Amino acid sequence: MTSEEFRHLLQQQTDVQLLDPCLHDDGTPFVFEPQPTGWDKFRDELVVRLGVSRSAIRVVGSARFGFSMKPGYSLKGFVDTSDIDVVVVNPSLFDQLWEALLEAAYPRPPITQQFGGWLEKRRRELYTGWLTPLEIRLDSKIFGVKARPVLDFNTRWFNALKEASRYPSRRHEDITGRLYRTWRHAELYHLDSLAVLRKTLSE
């Protein structure tokens, strides 16, 4: 799909209908088109390292279509410095990280006083049903041994994405991964993004 075809699709379909091509479509993403077998290898790497199913993994945004879906970017094309955005949906994995985070940094003094802004950001993410593991950084010198499960989770997540990054055949800058608790949480996030994108493209 080209960016112009997507603009036309925006005029023809509702945001709910657009969830199919933007989120649910399991076809080969743009970044794997030169070598489609890389898409299976990419997912299989994450399946093995994260313990999720293939059906729980999607590539979204510019790496999916070849143009950016971020509001304000005017459907800018994918380039060598673009990131690959990965969605992983798994309630067990999500709860594992959430509980480890609570064990290490439950929101009470002095944590709330020292890390108020950081905690507020995590709360906003949790409220909408997603976490970005590599943005959850805990200093073991501050949080002690309680930080270990979170740090171990993030190491596992980082290594999974790093190994999977070998398979996209198009050059890219980095791979970012977002963990959603359920597909409905992922849908609601993307519906919000589509609404904002639709508004910015019409201005």
pLDDT tens, residue by residue, 157-168: 999 999 999 999
Contact 76, 67 (CB under 8 A): yes
Q: What are phi and psi of 87, to 5 degrees?
A: -110, 130
The pTM of this model reads 0.93
What are the angstrom distances between the C-alpha of 25 and each of 8, 64, 119? 18, 10, 34
Give domain limits for the chain. Answer: 1-203
- 97 three-class SS: helix
48-88 residue pLDDT tens: 999 999 999 999 999 999 999 988 888 999 998 899 999 99
What is the C-alpha separation between 72 and 70, in angstroms, rounded?
Answer: 6
